[in-house]
Chains A and B, each alone.
Chain A
C-alpha cells in the first residue's frame, strides 16, 4: 500500500470516529424527537431547547463544584422535569386542536426558551468548565480523546437503557400501546396522560444528557445552542423514520458520519447544506425514512 492510500485510510478512520461521536449526540436528541412524535404526533420544535437547558444545568452544577458524575444525572432530571411542565401547561391544553396549532405552539415554545435564556443568562457563550482533564490516545494516526470515549460510552449505555425501558418494562409497553392509539390504550386502563408526561420526561432527559456531553466536547454553552442541533436531530429522526426509536439512532449516526466525511474530504462550509441535502434525497426515495414502513389494515 502506498503512503497516500495509508493516509487516506487513517483520515477516513478519523472522520468516521468524529462522525460517530457527533452522530451519537444527534441520536440522543433525535430519540426524544421521535418518541414524542410517536406518542402524540407532535414535531416538538422546542426539543432542542431541552438539550440547551441540560447543557446549562450541567454548566451551573459543575461551576458550583459538583462532580461530573453527579452533574450529569441532575441535568437529565432537570431537563426532564421542565419538559413535563411544558407538556402539561403548553401542549396538553391544545392537544385536541389539531397538528398545525400544536406545531406553531412548539415553534413559539422554542423561541420562548431561546430568548428567555438570553435574557436571564446572557447571549454570550459561556466557557464550559473542565470537568475532567482532556487526554488523547493514538491508534496509528487516529486520535481519540477521553471525552469522545465518554460520549460514545454514555450514549451507548443510554440507548441500551432506553431499549430496555421501551421493550422490556410495563411502562415501555404502555408507551408503545399509547403511541399506536390513545383510545385503545385507555381501554386497557392505561392513563395515557401519564404515559405522555413520562415520554416527554425520558426524551428530554436524553437531550439534557446530550447537552452536558456537548458542553464538555466543545467547551461552550449558550442559549441558542439548541437551534441547529435541534434541527439536525429532527432531520436524523425523519431520516431514520419518525416515530421509530431505532430509526433515530440510525438517522443520527448516518447524519453525523456524513457531515464529518464532507468536512474531512471536502469543505466544512458545506456541512449543514449536506445535512439537508441528505434529508431531501432520502425522502425522495423513501418518504417514510430508512426504517419507515407504511402500515396497512389487515382483513
Chain B
C-alpha cells in the first residue's frame, strides 16, 4: 500500500506498575483506513489506545503520528495534533448537556464556522443527539451516550479517530446504527482505529485487523482474510 502512514507504533511496551501489559507491539494505520484491533478481555486493547492517545506512557518503543514522535506527549496536547479518542465506557460528561459535551469536544478549536458545520454533520449522523441536544448527557440511554462519545471525539476535528468498544453494553438494535455511523465517518475521509470485542461486526467494516492476545499481536492481515481464518473463527467469532 502506497498510502500515507498516519500512525505507526513501533515495539511499544507498557507497564502498569509491575505488570507488563503490552509486550512490544507494532502496528500501522494508513490514511483513510479502518483498522481494527481484536482480542479478548485483558488482551491489552484499551491499554494500547490509552498509550497512543497519551493517557499512558510507553515504557519502551515509539509512537509516530505523521512521522513525529508523540509518545510522552500529554493527552491534552495529542488531541490538538489530530488524534481523538472515544474511550471505553463512553465517559460522556453527565452534568453537561449533549450540546455542551460536543462543545467540550471542540475545546481547542477556534474555527467557529467549521465547528458549526461539524455540529450539523454530527446531528445528521445521529439525529437522536439533535433531539436531545439540551438534555443532560447523564439522562441518555447507553446507546445514545455512545453516539455522543463518538460525536464528541469527532468535534475535535481529528485526522485519526480512536474508538474503544463502541458496541459494548449497548442495546443490539443500536449496535448496527453505530457501525453504520463509523462507515459513514470513514466515507467522509476519517481514518479510524477501532478496538472491538465484536469481532465479526468490526472485521466486516474494517480494511485490516490486528489480533491481540496477552499483550502481543499474534495475527494481522486484511479484514477479509481474518474473517475467514479458522483460528479467528474459533476464538472470536464463535464458530
Q: Encode contact with B along A265-299: 1 for CB under 8 Å, 0 otherwise.
A: 00000000000000000000000000000010111
Cα–Cα, bound, A180→B79 (Å): 19
On whether A173 and B94 interact (CB within 8 A), knowing A183-B87, A187-B55, A298-B141, the answer reads no
The tally of residues in A whose CB lies under 8 Å from a CB in B reads: 21
A181 contacts chain B at the CB level, 8 A cutoff: yes
Q: How far is the CB of B170 from chain A (nearest CB, A)?
A: 7
List 9 A-B pairs, minimum CB-CB distance, nearest first. Answer: A184-B91, A189-B108, A186-B75, A189-B79, A299-B142, A188-B107, A189-B107, A188-B104, A186-B76
CB 8 Å contact bits of B100-127 with A (1 = contact, 0 = none): 1001110110000000000000000000
Q: Which of B74, B76, B80 has the most CB of A within 10 A?
A: B76
Closest to B75 in A: A186
Q: Kindly name the residue among A181, A185, A187, A191 whose own CB sees the greatest number of chain B CB atoms within 10 A.
A: A187
B163 CB to nearest A CB, Å: 12
Q: How far does the alpha carbon of A297 sit from the alpha carbon of B91 in the complex, in Å?
A: 10
Contact A190 B91 (CB under 8 A): no
CB neighbours (8 Å) of B48 from chain A are none
B84 CB–A CB distance under 8 Å: yes
**B103–A173 CB distance below 8 A:** yes
Question: When the two chains form their complex, are residues A173 and B140 in contact, meaning their CB atoms are under 8 A apart?
Answer: no
CB-contact partner of A189 in B91, B140, B156, B171, under 8 A = B156
> How distant is A268 from chain B, measured CB to nearest CB, in Å?
40
Residues of B within 8 A of A298 (CB): 138, 140-142, 145
In the assembled complex, 22 residue pairs joining A and B whose CB atoms fall closer than 8 Å, in A order, are A170-B107, A173-B103, A174-B107, A176-B96, A177-B93, A181-B93, A183-B50, A183-B87, A184-B93, A186-B55, A186-B74, A187-B55, A187-B76, A187-B79, A187-B91, A188-B104, A189-B156, A190-B104, A191-B74, A297-B89, A299-B141, A299-B142
Q: Nearest residue in A to B152 (C-beta to C-beta)? A: A188
Per-residue B-contact encoding for A154-190, CB less than 8 Å = 1, 0 else:
0000000000000000100110110011011111111
The answer to whether A188 and B156 touch (CB under 8 A), given A176-B96, A180-B93, is yes
A192 at the binding interface (Cβ < 8 Å): yes
A119-178 CB contacts (< 8 Å) to partner B: 170, 173-174, 176-177
- Residues in chain B near residue A170, CB distance under 8 A: 103, 107
Establish whether residues A299 and B75, one from each chain, have CB atoms under 8 Å apart when the complex forms: no
Among B55-113, those with CB < 8 Å from A are 55, 74-77, 79-80, 84-85, 87, 89, 91-96, 100, 103-105, 107-108
Least CB distance from A2 to B in Å reads: 51
Residues of A within 8 A of B138 (CB): 295, 298
Given contacts A184-B87, A295-B138, contact A190 B107 (CB under 8 A): yes
CB-CB under 8 A from B50, the residues of chain A are 183
Chain B nearest Cβ from A12, distance in angstroms: 37
Q: Chain B residue with minimal CB distance to A38?
A: B95
Taking A190-B76, A297-B89 as known contacts, 16 extra A-B pairs with beta carbons closer than 8 A to each other, sorted by chain A number, are: A173-B100, A176-B96, A180-B91, A180-B94, A183-B50, A186-B75, A187-B55, A187-B75, A187-B76, A188-B107, A188-B156, A190-B104, A191-B74, A295-B138, A298-B140, A299-B170
Set A181, A189, A295: member contacting B76, Cβ < 8 A:
A189
User: B91, A183: Cβ atoms under 8 Å?
Assistant: yes
Q: Point out the residues of chain A lying under 8 angstroms from B170, CB to CB.
A: 299
The residues of B that contact A188 with a CB separation of less than 8 Å are: 76, 79, 104-105, 107-108, 152, 156
B96 touching A183 by the CB < 8 A rule? no
Q: A181: which B residues are within 8 A, CB to CB?
A: 91, 93
CB of A291 to closest CB in B, whole Å = 12
Enumerate chain B residues within 8 angstroms of A190, measured Cβ to Cβ.
76, 104, 107
B222 contacts chain A at the CB level, 8 A cutoff: no
